[in-house]
Amino acid sequence: MKATAQTPPPMRVIVIGASLAGLLAAAASAAAGAETLIIERDLLPRTPEPRKGVPQGRQAHVLLRRGLLAAEELLPGLRGDLLAHEAAHFDSGTMPWLGEYGWLPTWLPAFELISVTRPLLEHLTRERLLERGGVTLHEGVRATGLRRSESGWQVSTENGGVFAADRVIDASGRSSRLPHWLGELGVRVGEPDQVDAHLGYACRLYRANGKPPLTTGVVLGGTPETQRGAVALPVENDRWLIIGAGYGDHRPTREPAEFDAYLADLRDPAIADIAARLEPVSDIAIYRQTSNRRYRYGQVKGWPDGLLVVGDSGCAFNPIFGQGITVAAQQALLLRDAWTASRLQRRLDRVADFCWSVATSEDLRQPSSEGRPTVPQRIISAWSAELSRLAVAGDPRAFGTFMRVYHLMAPAGELFHPALFLSAARSAVGGRGRPAPRPAELEALRQAQPA
């Protein structure tokens, strides 16, 4: 419809980056009625395949419950798309999980977990977004500059083009050039907060020939003592992703024999047993860009109107905690619902506060970390350790709280519910219950002969 004096033209928004944070931000922008344009430097594959601009794309990705609900609200039908493409899904409460203090119980239900390869998740999200309308995607276009104009913003590109917009959303990830661009605009941005425990991943894709070894994934958490762990997750099309994750000198390599030896040397044989029953169908991809890094853009003096930052461009987490996609989805919901709010960047930053606290506190416990936890972080870590011991002993409230907070379905304050302190006091006086046994399905897997 042609704009008139009584009907102003819709706001024009440019989103830099077509990864998941950018796609979800574009969905929020379109839902708010804006004419939305995405600029993406990669030429995007027409089928679900890894791409250069997502170096972590070969690693495992899951949608925590809060992230799934937010993404589904922004793009109705996305969950159905994932399941139609045979994404794995199971109750996270039934998944064998070996933490620092033992196995979590597998008989207490929790939340649905959807496990899928990153290329398929991104591909289906992009398809669902473009089908809804209101969004145009320009791929193979690298943004090289940002400047103010009389009517708003201008984004310059590598080929000499210029795109004009009322609002710009930077979702270009860890490689964002925004600090440099802001410097050119005279806006001073301080150094980012950073916590780096020097975690390294090695990931390999496998195929199940016949009956899969398990119906859920398995987590063997790394601890400050072992400094190594692993995850095995079923994904779409009867395939599995197995990821070794180690800190400092314990980071796994891409050599197949060394990778197998790494899995065999873990504190439990579960994932080595799974790998022995699967067929490798890819080489081993490594990824070591895992530091927690955060720019406090919401606190920058003179922050320009009409400029917003979401996802890893503003706050990037150690991927081992699985929080990044969920935080980006929550930020996108906030964009949609508070489109005209003042100090919106500050509110976007706050979405990441709790996850930042969890990721950095845990990483600072690792001997390979470049920093040390503060006194408040030590106190919170000690209390979290007590809750973990209660959960391992089968305390339903401790386990349920752990799962709700992990899936971001409950505020952090629930960790300090008076009933949990009462459980801890009873445990201190009467002794903890017996820890959960090693899950029976892992014992059966150990005894069965590999195909």
pLDDT value at residue 2 = 54
Confidence of residue 9 (pLDDT cuts 50, 70, 90): confident
> Which residues, listed in sequence order, are joined to residue 239 by a DSSP beta bridge?
207, 235
Scanning 253-323, the segments in alpha helix (DSSP H) are: 256-264, 270-276
* Residue 3 scores a pLDDT above 60: no
Burial 382-395 (b: 16+ CB within 10 A, else e): eebebbbbbbbbbb
Average pLDDT over residues 390-407: 94
Contact of 175 with 270, CB cutoff 8 Å: no
Confidence of residue 1 (pLDDT cuts 50, 70, 90): very low
Containing 139, the helix (H) or strand (E) segment is strand 135-139
Place of tokens 């890819």: 282
pLDDT value at residue 38 = 98
pLDDT value at residue 5 = 54
Q: What percent of the chain has pLDDT over 70?
A: 98
**Taking all residues of the chain, what is their mean pLDDT, rounded to a whole number?**
93
Q: What percent of the chain has pLDDT over 90?
A: 84
* Residue 419 scores a pLDDT above 90: yes
Contact of 315 with 325, CB cutoff 8 Å: no
Question: Which residue type is seen at 249?
Answer: D
DSSP SS3 for 12: strand
* Residue 400 scores a pLDDT above 80: yes
* Residue 126 scores a pLDDT above 70: yes
Average pLDDT over residues 255-264: 97
Containing 375, the helix (H) or strand (E) segment is helix 375-392
Residue spans of the domains in the chain: they are 12-88+113-194+292-358, 196-290
Average pLDDT over residues 294-316: 96
Q: Report pLDDT digits (tens) over 199-246.
A: 999 999 999 988 899 999 999 999 999 999 999 999 999 999 999 999
**430 or 85, which is more confident:** 85
Average pLDDT over residues 281-297: 95
Contacts (Cβ under 8 Å, ≥6 apart) of 158 = 141, 142, 143, 144
Contacts (Cβ under 8 Å, ≥6 apart) of 169 = 13, 14, 15, 16, 22, 25, 26, 29, 308, 309, 310, 335
pTM listed for this prediction: 0.94
* Residue 102 scores a pLDDT above 90: yes
CATH 3.60.15.10 assigned to domain 12-88+113-194+292-358? The reply is: no
Q: Report pLDDT digits (tens) over 313-340.
A: 999 999 988 899 999 999 999 999 999 9
Average pLDDT over residues 88-101: 95
Can you say whether the dihedral through the CA atoms of 174, 179, 180, 185 is positive or negative?
A: positive
Q: Report pLDDT digits (tens) over 142-183.
A: 999 999 988 899 999 998 899 999 999 999 999 999 999 999
DSSP 436: B
| Dihedral angle over CA of 403, 115, 51, 130, nearest 10 | -90
Confidence of residue 107 (pLDDT cuts 50, 70, 90): very high
* Residue 21 scores a pLDDT above 90: yes
Contacts (Cβ under 8 Å, ≥6 apart) of 140 = 40, 41, 42, 43
Q: Report pLDDT digits (tens) over 58-70.
A: 888 888 999 999 9
Burial 279-297 (b: 16+ CB within 10 A, else e): ebeeebbbbebbbbbbbeb
CATH code assigned to 196-290: 3.30.70.2450
> Which residues, listed in sequence order, are joined to residue 90 by a DSSP beta bridge?
113
* Residue 431 scores a pLDDT above 90: no
How far, in Å, CA of 176 to CA of 310, rounded?
11
